[in-house]
A and B are shown apart, each in its own frame.
Chain A
């Protein structure tokens, strides 16, 4: 797959946020490794889906890719241009080609701007469309593309429903004619029936405009639905990357399996039949990730050797890339899952060392 035309290439990207403490002077007491060494490439005209649970760093990765959050280390090349070393002015000019869609359509729209002003802002910034008339024409076309009526122009965001607001957000991104769109949880704030409208709209826009997407979401079903390639993140790193269909039929990483089995399917027959892999305990704190494989504390397949002390690198198995020492032996059924004791995980900000406690009554790691 490396032979194809890649629009975006991310190499060993790291975003570390300092944890500051202190009354008078801020003292850095540690780092939250939100993104800790991610490599990925997005093919032109395709959709790359990024899934993971809250705190896995997927949103930070998306923002760091667009240089909205400065990366700590690593490279991001967009159509051959290295973004991390670009001067601020040049970067601003580049922004025209890469846009973002946000999760909460209400908070991502300035409540004091009407739709026309929201859509004009980007055009003015980049001097697109020439005069007022030219801009009007572009805006009208964009409204048609996202399915918003003309009368929307004079209205303010709070006058629209959630789905329409998200369309305004999409129009704002689209009006500049970008090549890449990073969509961070584009549908998770919307009602079920509206989610489908927006998902279909994104699909149609990709077909007609040849857009490249990076879709970030926690909902594996949504991500699988719109993505060609799916990357699964856990605690700041990719644990598996595979073509969308393959990820479902042949998940290789234990975390992918667990995630997949946890997603409810609206079909009683499937729900009753499927084997459920219940993960024990919570996500460890990204400020203090486990050594070795980050998943080994919750992994039902964790082995006494290697898992706890050697961090697995992403390696290719067939069409997939997976970061697990024992992926082949798990896939072949040679390794069997076992029960995992629960580890107490403190919510962010609690500096306490996680103490391992066995919990015999944990309602079955497996069902």
Chain B
């Protein structure tokens, strides 16, 4: 057998190396998921929509041409509701006036901030409460033995009760209890998503508790509480994060629905898309565009969150990983 020359051997090894690996540093699961996310066109579209939305919500109010509360149309006599006169778009007022003579474009931009606030806070409320309950129940059920099963059963019956109530009804009753305000809307919408997050995290944690690496950690002698926090919880979060993104979309729609029903901020001077939509319904005959602007904005934003959420679900799916 001939001795293989050094140069050739190098070449073989290099080619094999190239075929086997493409990156030098370790890539964690999150990095890997992000990489796949970037390749997904739906994720890009969702991300672009949301970036625009967030930029408008954060910085837009500083650049609006008019105050959203300024009823200039009435003052100037341009808007005369009694005579069915609500002027549409013009060079000064890009989206025209509303029924109180306010600049619709400014209201839309400022409303974006309110809408984002409601969506994010409501989702955070639901996520925090749901994850807390679900996390405790999941850890107890997965690792806690007999006592754990009792804790889990008790918490879950409570969640089942929440789940049994129709979501809108629950929100309406919370709103009725606390009186109509923006906070009410946020709490109500958040409460509705609590059972979803709780069940999701619990289920995911129980599934993870049965996996071999938990057994491996147990056999290393690691404490159960530490296993729950360092192994089970981080591995159970992916579906919850995806759900949070999707919940943001529904939260915005639900908040709009509650505002529409008159459970939102009674001070309609501060614009919010749902409130604007509710107000616009009286003037549908005169100027339907007043309803179309906030409706389209809500739909596009919800679509952005949904696209990103679904793309994240795909990117984080372990089955799709090579």
The answer to whether A125 has its CB under 8 Å from any CB of chain B is yes
- In the complex, the answer to whether B213 meets A121 with C-beta atoms within 8 Å is no
Residues of B in contact, count (CB < 8 Å): 23
Interface flag for B215 (CB, 8 Å):
yes
Question: With A107-B211, A110-B213, A111-B318 known to touch, is A158 a contact of B231 (CB < 8 Å)?
Answer: no
- What distance in Å separates the Cβ of B322 from its nearest Cβ neighbour in chain A? 8
Min C-beta distance of A142 to chain B, whole Å: 14
Q: Are A108 and B213 closer than 8 Å at their CB atoms?
A: yes
Nearest CB of chain A from residue B148's CB, rounded to whole Å: 14
Q: Which residue of A lies closest to B212 (CB)?
A: A108
**B26 with A114: CB separation less than 8 A:** yes
Contact assessment for A108 and B215 in the assembled complex, using a CB-CB cutoff below 8 Å? yes
Q: Which residues of A contact B32 (CB under 8 A)?
A: 158
Closest to A107 in B: B212
Whether, in the assembled complex, B234 has its beta carbon less than 8 Å from a beta carbon of chain A, the answer is yes
Do the beta carbons of B220 and A172 come within 8 Å of each other?
A: yes
Q: How far is the CB of B156 from chain A (nearest CB, A)?
A: 14
Q: Which of A42-94 contact B (CB under 8 A)?
A: 63, 66, 68, 92-94
Knowing A110-B213, A111-B318, say if A156 contacts B219 (CB, 8 Å). Answer: no
The answer to whether the Cβ of A95 comes within 8 Å of any Cβ in the partner chain is yes
Q: Which residue of A lies closest to B223 (CB)?
A: A92
- A96's nearest neighbour on chain B, judged by CB, is B221
Q: Which residues of B contact A122 (CB under 8 A)?
A: 220-222
Question: For chain B, what secondary structure do more than half of its interface residues adopt (helix, strand, loop), or is it mixed?
Answer: helix
Note all chain A residues with C-beta closer than 8 A to B25.
Answer: 154
A238 within 8 A of B: no
State which size class the interface on A falls in. Answer: 20 to 34
Which residues 191-230 in B have Cβ within 8 Å of A in the complex? 211-213, 215-223
In the assembled complex, how far is the CB of residue B173 from the closest CB belonging to chain A, in whole angstroms? 28
Contact A68 B218 (CB under 8 A): yes
Q: Is the CB of B221 within 8 A of A125?
A: yes
Is A112 touching B234 in the complex (CB atoms < 8 A)?
yes
The answer to whether B235 touches A111, judged by C-beta atoms less than 8 angstroms apart, is yes
Which residues of chain A come closer than 8 Å to B216, judged between CB atoms?
A: 100, 102, 108-109, 169, 172
B219–A112 CB distance below 8 A: no
The yes or no answer to A104 lying at the interface (CB within 8 A) is: yes
Q: Given known contacts A95-B220, A107-B212, A159-B26, what 5 new A-B pairs fall within 8 Å (CB)?
A: A99-B219, A108-B213, A108-B216, A111-B29, A111-B235
Residue contacts A-B, CB under 8 angstroms, 18 given: A68-B215, A92-B221, A92-B223, A99-B220, A100-B215, A100-B216, A107-B211, A107-B212, A108-B212, A109-B213, A110-B217, A110-B235, A111-B29, A111-B318, A114-B28, A126-B221, A158-B321, A159-B27
